[in-house]
Structure 1
């Protein structure tokens, strides 16, 4: 059996932070968060480039279409599509995508979070949970996270977790209506032998009490 499909669906938990598979009935909560956070999320959201002349632009999928596609990709062993909950409430999304096996054994993580809970350590915890699952349970070797240089909040997540910055990918993804440069951050399994969540917990415990917010 494929290593991903033999461990899917899965739920990952650390304190009040939980990752669970996205499901169609998340639609109402997901839409509410996205609408309330439009200005916060729009600069970092993937967009579809204009089609060639004479072609109609593709329609943006509905939430249910998106959820069905993500769940099908998970069953095929190519993706881990999670929602992030905090204290029982849906607050964001995290996807491990582009999963490749064979000689590479790698994947990349993308995420977003409700601005109302940003800065509370929710997303670093979620990324650490997902990375540890990928390394320890699935047997992936490398995890990448690609971030626009201007996205300070997202860059702070990888900096807190100790991801290495590897360089720039020029015009890497179509974001907010144009092709945008991205910084590449990465970790391999050998760099976190005790787990990324352990590293994150240690970093929190080592911070002065005045900074632990």
Structure 2
């Protein structure tokens, strides 16, 4: 049975994306291409094709099977539309025992707490199901909305990673945020 996570008060559910989601996922990333360009890598037109996204989702499914990454789709409970994603990437067990968190939401669904709720579900999954010790995220210092999502979920700013990721065509500094299992707010338990 597929894993599904719910936050009914915020009107969302999350589940791992599959290749069957390639078309709605493609439609969503096409819509977000221009408004999110300042916070995303530059991608060629081939990235925005059904074939490319089907392959990408197949790779993500394989990562979930291997336990190295989990790409959750965020769905609206009202109309079951795919409205965003939350990913636990680069999952490492053993001495490190952490994952990198990434997320975005369709511009029409910003506000109302849906992204904060989705991150909360992903963090709880990381600590409860995956038994990780740390979840971290890298955010552009100018991306105040993403920073608020993390802070509402108990993440703490740890510092600046200089020229960390190539975003919008150039390497840019990122603020590193993290939460560790012992920081988990009581409502997650």
TM tier, smaller: 0.7 to 0.9
Asked if 1:119 is matched to 2:111, the reply is yes
In structure 2, the partner of 1:101 is: 93
The CA RMSD measured in Å over matched residues stands at 2.0
Equivalent runs, 1:40-119 vs 2, <5 Å: 40-47=35-42, 60=47, 62-87=52-77, 88-119=80-111
SS of structure 1 residue aligned to 2:90: strand
Task: Write the deviation string for residues 132-176 of structure 1: whole angstroms up to 9, x where unpaired.
Answer: 111112210111011011112211211222210000001101111
SS of structure 2 residue aligned to 1:40: coil
Displacement of 1:195 in angstroms is 4.4
The runs of 5 or more residues in structure 1 that have no matched partner are 1-7, 49-56, 199-213
Equivalent runs, 1:3-22 vs 2, <5 Å: 9-15=2-8, 16-22=11-17
In structure 1, the partner of 2:25 is: 30
Number of residue pairs the alignment of both structures matches: 181
TM-score for both structures, normalised by structure 2 = 0.88
Asked if 1:146 is matched to 2:138, the reply is yes
In structure 2, the partner of 1:4 is: none
Runs of 4+ aligned structure 1 residues displaced above 2 Å come to 31-39, 193-196
Displacement of 1:105 in angstroms is 0.9
d(CA) in 2 for partners of 1:118, 1:67 = 24
d(CA) in 1 for partners of 2:2, 2:164 = 30
SS of structure 2 residue aligned to 1:39: coil
Assess if the C-alpha contact under 8 Å between 1:41 and 1:112 holds in 2.
no
Assess if the C-alpha contact under 8 Å between 1:132 and 1:195 holds in 2.
no
- Rg: which structure is higher? 1
Asked if 1:134 is matched to 2:126, the reply is yes
Assess if the C-alpha contact under 8 Å between 2:158 and 2:176 holds in 1.
yes
